[in-house]
């Protein structure tokens, strides 16, 4: 049909962030072995406990096998052909932003994340990560006044070693899975957040991850701790240049919420997805997990996944504390030959725990988009409840969508509710909107954003606007 082709044109997105910053970098040699791990740890001047943590993880990783249960198709990754540490060359010690290489500041400017004092975003504190290192973190003093710690994880290792030693790896143990083990062995940088007891973080915190070099992997590690009765909203954004090789991104994010604490973690993921033939793009193998340790604690994940050649990602919640709450709101858009296998795990351990899952998958082109989720009610999760809703939208007739909901219950006094639907943008729907004077592109984008509304409503305001724009951009193209 004529319109099928039009839809295909419309979803061909131009990637705005595909540029490379020409900057001198310090890279270590390719490959992974014990010496490389010692070298990374040494470069970062880490205490011994962390080196031990890394080496133990590496030993475990060597014994593990790359998982294939998601049925994703990709060329075998040669882990010896990856550079595990790459950093832009800078002065040894940087005391202020003025000493940051202007090229780096310019890069983040171009990405819409200005860092300098005059231009920085007014209501969001940003930690900007470029390849393996954190470049700058804004609003640090203002946050410090409230006792909030927001810095790169490398800095936290130096200045808050006690917190790192206490919590690192307690939510996602190194042995959790293949990619988590790899990350634990070689992680370079990432963000660290600590919200003290009773504090509501005065502004949104945000990390922006930029992969610049083509042959290095990015292995960032994020740790967020919310003490009793505290709350924080954290945003994560990511982009990468267009290379015709695949770049590995294997991150680990750990969240910990104590009594009555709440953490809202939002992601807009726009890594380079590869071209129409599926050449290049990021392999995004990420482990994100939150632990609701405290009573009435709450962890809420919301994500808009639009990039990466392959996405393998299941932001999850371990609901230990009585009456704790886990939420997962997700939009995943795939196009061309992209593959996304994403979902969540809600593990109800404590009594009267509650979880909500709302997943919206949109597949266009020849892409493959799967929701995979686990809801588990443990033996002590009496009076717990889960509600899941998984909707798929197909654009064109070559795309595929799957839903794999796994449900396990050891507690008869708990409720699990699951709803799923699949729809297709039909020629008739488009014609109906067009016959009311609405342009073709706008018609597609209205339908897509209507489909995603439940999730967009959960995003922080700045992000919701960005997500809507991003989807519209992905759906922009020459019509006919």
Partner 1 sequence: MQSTMREADPILEVENLSASTDNLPILKGVSLTVYPGEIHAIMGRNGCGKSTLSKIIAGHPSYNITNGDIKFLGENINSLEPEERAQSGIFLGFQYPIEIPGVSNLEFLRVSTNARRKFLNKEELDTFDFEELVKEKLEIVKMDHAFLSRSVNQGFSGGEKKRNEILQMALLEPKIAILDETDSGLDIDALRIVASGIKKISNAQTGIILITHYQRLLDEIKPNYVHVMSDGQIIKTGESDLALELEEKGYEWTDNFIKET
Asked if 328 and 322 touch (Cβ cutoff 8 Å), the reply is no
Q: Is 90 left (phi over 0), alpha (psi -120 to 50) or beta?
A: beta
Instruction: Name the minimum Å distance from CB 461 to partner 1.
Output: 17
| Pick 90 or 429: Cβ nearer partner 1 | 429
Location of structure tokens 């634990």? 184
Instruction: Name the minimum Å distance from CB 432 to partner 1.
Output: 4
Asked if 413 and 380 touch (Cβ cutoff 8 Å), the reply is no
With both helix axes pointing from N to C terminus, report the angle between 2-10 and 427-434 in degrees, rounded to the nearest 10: 80
Distance, in Å, from the CA atom of 459 to the CA atom of 300, rounded to the nearest integer, reads 10
| Pick 83 or 452: Cβ nearer partner 1 | 452
Instruction: Name the minimum Å distance from CB 331 to partner 1.
Output: 12
Asked if 131 and 174 touch (Cβ cutoff 8 Å), the reply is no
What φ, ψ does residue 265 adopt, rounded to 5°? -120, 115
Instruction: Name the minimum Å distance from CB 265 to partner 1.
Output: 25
- Extended beta strands in 270-414, E state: 281-292, 298-305, 310-313, 316-319, 325-334, 339-342, 345-348, 354-363, 368-377, 385-394, 400-409
Instruction: Name the minimum Å distance from CB 457 to partner 1.
Output: 12
Instruction: Name the minimum Å distance from CB 447 to partner 1.
Output: 6
| Pick 155 or 391: Cβ nearer partner 1 | 391
Element (H, E) at 253: strand 252-257
Instruction: Name the minimum Å distance from CB 391 to partner 1.
Output: 9
Asked if 429 and 4 touch (Cβ cutoff 8 Å), the reply is no
Instruction: Name the minimum Å distance from CB 5 to partner 1.
Output: 10
| Pick 412 or 480: Cβ nearer partner 1 | 480
| Pick 74 or 432: Cβ nearer partner 1 | 432
Q: How many CB atoms lie within 10 A of CB 432?
A: 12
Q: Tell me which residues touch partner 1 (CB under 8 A).
A: 1-3, 423, 426-429, 431-440, 442, 446-447, 449-453, 480
| Pick 240 or 447: Cβ nearer partner 1 | 447
| Pick 362 or 399: Cβ nearer partner 1 | 362
Instruction: Name the minimum Å distance from CB 416 to partner 1.
Output: 25
Planar angle of CA 26, 186, 18, nearest 5 degrees: 55
Output DSSP code: residue 465: H
| Pick 393 or 399: Cβ nearer partner 1 | 393
- Extended beta strands in 411-473, E state: 415-424
Element (H, E) at 448: helix 440-456
């Amino acid at each position: 049909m004529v319109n099928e082709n039009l839809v295909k044109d419309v979803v061909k997105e131009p990637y705005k962030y595909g540029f490379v910053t020409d900057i001198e970098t310090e890279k270590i040699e390719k490959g992974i072995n014990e010496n490389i791990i010692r070298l990374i740890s040494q470069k970062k001047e880490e205490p011994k406990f962390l080196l031990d943590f890394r080496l133990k993880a590496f030993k475990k990783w060597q014994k593990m096998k790359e998982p294939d249960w998601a049925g994703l198709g990709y060329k075998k990754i040669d882990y010896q052909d990856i550079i595990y540490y790459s950093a832009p060359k800078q002065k040894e010690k940087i005391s202020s932003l003025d000493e940051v290489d202007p090229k780096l500041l310019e890069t983040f400017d171009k990405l819409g994340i200005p860092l300098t004092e005059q231009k920085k975003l007014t209501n969001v504190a940003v930690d900007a990560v470029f390849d393996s290192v954190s470049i700058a973190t804004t609003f640090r003093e203002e946050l410090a006044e409230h006792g909030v710690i927001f810095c790169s994880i490398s800095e936290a290792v130096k200045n808050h070693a006690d917190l790192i030693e206490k919590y690192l790896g307690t939510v996602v143990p190194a042995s959790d899975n293949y990619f988590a083990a790899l990350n634990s062995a070689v992680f370079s940088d990432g963000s660290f957040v600590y919200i003290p007891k009773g504090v509501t973080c005065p502004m949104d915190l945000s990390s922006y991850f930029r992969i610049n070099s083509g042959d290095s992997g990015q292995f960032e590690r994020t740790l967020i701790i919310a003490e009793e009765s505290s709350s924080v909203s954290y945003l994560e954004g990511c982009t990468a240049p267009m290379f015709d090789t695949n770049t590995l991104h294997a991150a680990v994010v750990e969240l910990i919420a104590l009594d009555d604490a709440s953490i809202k973690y939002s992601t807009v993921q726009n890594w380079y997805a590869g071209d129409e033939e599926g050449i290049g793009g990021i392999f995004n193998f990420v482990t994100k997990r939150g632990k609701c340790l405290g009573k009435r604690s709450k962890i809420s994940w919301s994500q808009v996944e639009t990039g990466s050649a392959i996405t393998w990602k299941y932001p999850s919640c371990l609901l230990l504390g009585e009456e704790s709450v886990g939420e997962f709101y997700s939009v995943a858009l795939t196009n061309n030959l992209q593959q996304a296998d994403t979902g969540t795990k809600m593990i109800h351990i404590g009594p009267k725990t509650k979880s909500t899952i709302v997943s919206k998958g949109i597949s266009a082109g020849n892409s493959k988009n799967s929701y995979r989720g686990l809801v588990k009610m443990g033996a002590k999760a009496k009076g717990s409840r889960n509600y899941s809703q998984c909707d798929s939208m197909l654009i064109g007739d070559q795309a595929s969508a799957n839903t794999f909901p796994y449900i396990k219950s050891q507690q008869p006094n708990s409720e699990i509710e699951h709803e799923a639907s699949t729809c297709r943008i039909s020629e008739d729907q488009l014609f109906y909107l067009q016959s009311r004077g609405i342009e073709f592109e706008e018609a597609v984008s209205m339908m897509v954003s209507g489909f995603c509304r439940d999730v967009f409503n959960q995003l922080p305001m700045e992000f919701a606007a960005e997500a809507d724009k991003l989807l519209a951009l992905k759906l922009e193209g020459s019509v006919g």
